[in-house]
Homo-oligomer: A and B are copies of this chain.
Amino acid sequence: MIEHVTPEVDEGRFPVKRTIGDDMVVEADVFTDGHDLLGVALLYRRDRDSEWRDMPMTCLPNDRWQASFPVTELGRYRYTVTGWVDHFQTWRRDVIKKVDAGQHVLVELLQAARLIDEASRRAPKADAESLKGWAEQLGLADGPESGRIQLALNEDMAALMAKYPDRSFATLYEKELVVIVDREKARFSAWYEMFPRSSSGKEQHGTFKDCEARLPYIASMGFDVLYLPPIHPIGVTHRKGKNNAPAGGMHDPGSPWGIGSQEGGHKAIHPQLGTVHDFRQFLDKAKSYGLEIALDLAFQCSPDHPYVKEHREWFKIRPDGTMQYAENPPKKYQDIYPLEFESDQWQPLWQELKSVVLYWIEQEVRIFRVDNPHTKPFVFWEWLIREIQADHPDVIFLAEAFTRPTVMYRLAKLGFTQSYTYFAWRSMKAELKEYFTELTQSEVREYFRPNLWPNTPDILTEELQHGGRPAFMARFILAATLGANYGIYGPAFELCEHRPREAGSEEYLDSEKYEVKQWDIERADSLKEFIGLVNHIRRENPALHSDGSLHFHATDHDQLMCYSKSTPDGSNVILVVINLSPYHTHSGWVQLDLDSLRLDPDRPFQVQDLLTNAFYRWNGPRNYIELNPLSAPAHVFRIRRWLRTEQDFDYYR
């Protein structure tokens, strides 16, 4: 019986995710009736290979078996488990007990001779001959028993027998499971979202050249992904004006998500930004600053998009013959026509959309942020991502779906590399702990890679509206340390832009979605240096490069939250203590789970605050914390364990 194989998502229907270089640990319950000993192997192969490789599994308590294999290549691997009764090992275990009890085992020696003889038929020539020799000696009825016992229990022969078990009755687990291996950025990335048209620093529409001039600024803050809202021509029909004014904006620049005009659609570039050549140049320049460009995939059309004229069959027509615009009743978005993915002409449409992605891949783009994937068919995304990654396994898709958990998780299972989360709306200690425990400690971690955004052009949370600079700092630290992947929408974020369009709204006042903005990025109160410091800490500390080790520690105060992340070998441990209130200084006691930190309860240890470079010597689990949000809302400690006795003086590492 082979059951409860882990990792396995939805009965093997969906792949799990890893990044290159990971050790893929697989476990299974493997057992049989009776008392026979088993042999168990993990089978694995790259998807494109036909040969399985074998990795012997080790028995843990209670019939649990474990092994691992390294994933060293991008793309898909398959794995499964096989098990068999090992008659020789069973025989050996029993005979050792009998011999130890002084019993005669003459008949058992004959049994061994038979088993060894059988094994010799499975072995290649040299080993076969050795085994045959052993079998014959054991089968002789006339040697003294003690000598033959010694022969039968010979360790070399046992090792040889272990190479040729009888697997003809082996059980093979009924499913082949799949792991998708992504590049490291799928697991560890810091995103910066910027509207390229606001990059001139002046009133005028920015260009890719202006964007190039912004690169040193963005790189200095330590980001590695620069995500641009759609860069395509913008429609004029029903174009929205400032603050989403209906039919306002013939002279406004319009929303970048109103894609398509006479100047082209999803494969074109907004003329005011520049040419494809400019874009390629910008991309190269960004690369030289360690910044990778992410584009927006928003599969929808303005009424002026070329598709609307050329492919009326790709849209929904209302009973009165007009084209169906986007709605969220009673809201109407007459500047947007959704594509009809399930029309009779779905195949040419899907191929066209695939060609859009391939077009930008040709322009060297490898990261796509996908707009509202939950309003398009699940099956489309599964197909598209699979098709693209088959030839381009380095492509990353980030799902921007703010909807119910079932749908967000399903999109991740279907192939999205990373996913937006509810992080922006989780502000209390209990809900943060519950949500991030679910994301990082449950099965969800196998397929859903959270990307944490404290703000986006659509989301200015109440906390940021009211909490001032301390709130921006606290939310930034949370995003950057709870999430190995996170992002901010800037310069709004680092400049602490906090004015909503109206009370109760999460929309920005004078939102950049509808106008060109001038940001004073040199403002003295900018968080740019703080952000740079935190991103530096992230890069230097591998504990922050993944989410699986996240562990919450108790505190005696509702506004003080404490959590840690560690590398698997425990060599790097980061401990964050944060004051969740932007308004008041709070103090209290943390109660560390020393085991999880691999700290010896009987030895002092040092914590180094990487934000301030202050050092504290702590002792045992209970330690005092006081945090003033106006100076620093959090400690980001690196834990340094006690290293030597104080023959000279204390060392920590």
Q: Is the CB–CB distance between B62 and A319 below 8 Å?
A: no
Which residues of chain B are near A405, meaning CB under 8 Å? Answer: 62-63
Tell me which residues from 349 to 386 in chain A have a Cβ below 8 Å from any Cβ of chain B.
Answer: 374-378
B375:A35 contact, CB within 8 angstroms:
yes
Contacts of A33 in B (CB 8 A): 374-378, 407
- Write out the residue numbers on chain B whose beta carbons fall within 8 Å of the beta carbon of A11: 11
A31 within 8 A of B: yes
Q: A31-B407, A63-B406 are in contact. Are A97 and B319 (CB under 8 A)?
A: no
> Is B375's CB under 8 angstroms from A330's CB?
no
Report Cα–Cα, A376/B35, bound state, in Å: 10
CB distance from A317 to the nearest CB of B (A): 11
Tell me whether B29 and A318 are in contact (CB under 8 A): no
- Is there contact, CB below 8 Å, between A103 and B330? yes
Q: How far is the CA of A110 from the CA of B321 in the complex (A)?
A: 11
Which residue of B31, B94, B97 contacts A410 across the interface (Cβ within 8 Å)?
B31
Is there an interface contact between B376 and A110, defined as CB atoms closer than 8 Å? no
A100 within 8 A of B: yes
Asked if A1 and B329 make an inter-chain contact with CB atoms under 8 angstroms apart, the answer reads no
For A93, the chain B residues whose CB sits under 8 A away are 329
Q: Which residue of chain B is the closest to A64 with respect to CB atoms?
A: B406
Which one of B31, B103, B406 lies within 8 Å of A62 (CB-CB)?
B406
A392 to B32, CA, bound (A): 29
Q: Do residues A329 and B114 form an inter-chain contact, with CB atoms below 8 A?
A: no
Is A136 close to B, CB under 8 A?
A: no
Whether A442 is near chain B, meaning CB under 8 Å from some CB there, is no
Interface: A168 (CB within 8 A):
no
Do residues B110 and A319 form an inter-chain contact, with CB atoms below 8 A?
yes
List the B side residues contacting A22 at CB < 8 Å: none
How many angstroms between the C-alpha atoms of A330 and B96 in the bound complex? 9
Q: Is the CB of A31 within 8 A of B406?
A: yes
A10 at the interface (CB under 8 A from B): yes
Across the interface, A404 reaches (CB within 8 A) one of B63, B110, B319, B329, namely: B63
How far does the alpha carbon of A201 sit from the alpha carbon of B1 in the complex, in Å?
A: 48
The complex places the Cα of A376 from the Cα of B374 at a distance, in Å, of 51
A503 interface contact, C-beta 8 A: no
In Å, the complex CA distance between A404 and B64 comes to 11
Tell me if A62 and B330 are in contact (CB < 8 A).
no
- The residues of B that contact A101 with a CB separation of less than 8 Å are 329-330
The verdict on A322 contacting chain B, using a C-beta distance below 8 Å, is yes
Chain A 305-329: CB-based contact to B (< 8 A → 1; otherwise 0): 0000000000000111010000111
- Give the complex CA separation of A378 and B93 in angstroms: 23
Q: Is the CB of A1 within 8 A of B97?
A: no
Tell me whether A406 and B29 are in contact (CB under 8 A).
Answer: yes
Chain B residues within an 8 Å CB radius of A374: 33-34
B residues less than 8 Å from A410 (CB atoms): 1, 31
Check if A98 is an interface residue, CB within 8 A of chain B: yes
Q: Which residue of B lies closest to A407 (CB)?
A: B31
- In the assembled complex, the CB of A386 is this many whole angstroms from the nearest CB of chain B, namely 17
Query: In the bound complex, do residue B330 and residue A97 qualify as a contact, i.e. CB atoms below 8 Å apart?
Result: yes
Interchain nearest-CB distance for A97 vs B (Å): 4
Contacts of A35 in B (CB 8 A): 328, 375
A434 at interface, CB cutoff 8 A? no
Q: Is A159 an interface residue (CB 8 A)?
A: no
Determine whether A3 belongs to the interface, using a CB cutoff of 8 Å to chain B: yes
User: Does A614 reach chain B (CB closer than 8 Å)?
Assistant: no
Name the distance in Å between A334's Cβ and chain B's nearest Cβ.
12
- Taking the closest CB of chain B, its distance from the CB of A170, in whole angstroms, is 15
Q: Residue-by-residue, is A80-105 near B (CB-CB < 8 Å gives 1, otherwise 0)?
A: 00000000000001110110110100
Contact A330 B34 (CB under 8 A): no
Query: Given the complex of chains A and B, what is the CA–CA distance between A464 and B106 in angstroms?
Result: 43
Nearest-CB distance from A594 to chain B (Å)? 21
Q: How far does the alpha carbon of A351 sit from the alpha carbon of B103 in the complex, in Å?
A: 37
Are A107 and B319 touching (Cβ within 8 A)? yes
Complex contact B107–A318 (CB within 8 A): yes
A 188-206 binary contact with B (CB < 8 Å = 1; else 0):
0000000000000000000
* Complex Cα gap A210–B221 (Å): 92
Expressed in whole angstroms, the Cα–Cα distance for A553 and B410 within the complex equals 38
Distance A271 CA – B322 CA, assembled complex (angstroms): 94
Of all chain B residues, the one with the shortest Cβ separation from A411 is B33
A327 vs B405: C-alpha distance when bound (angstroms):
55
A98-137: contact bitstring with B at CB < 8 Å (1 yes, 0 no)?
1011010011001100100000000000000000000000
Nearest chain B CB to A104's CB is how many angstroms away? 11
Kindly list chain B residues whose C-beta atoms are within 8 Å of the C-beta of A377. 33
Contact yes or no, A404 B318, CB < 8 A: no
Q: Which residues of B contact A62 (CB under 8 A)?
A: 404-406
CB-CB < 8 A to A375: which residues of B? 33-35
- Which residues between 530 and 583 of chain A lie within 8 Å of chain B, taking CB atoms? none
Q: 16 A–B contact pairs at CB < 8 A? A: A1-B378, A31-B404, A31-B407, A33-B377, A33-B378, A34-B375, A35-B328, A62-B405, A63-B404, A63-B405, A93-B329, A95-B329, A100-B330, A103-B330, A107-B320, A110-B320
New A-B contacts (8) at CB < 8 Å, excluding given A33-B407, A34-B374, A94-B327: A1-B406, A62-B405, A63-B407, A93-B329, A97-B330, A101-B330, A107-B319, A110-B320
Residues of A within 8 A of B (CB): 1, 3, 10-11, 29, 31-35, 62-63, 93-95, 97-98, 100-101, 103, 106-107, 110-111, 114, 318-320, 322, 327-330, 374-378, 404-407, 410
Kindly list the 4 A-B residue pairs having the minimum CB-CB distance in the complex, ordered from nearest. Answer: A101-B330, A110-B319, A97-B329, A94-B329
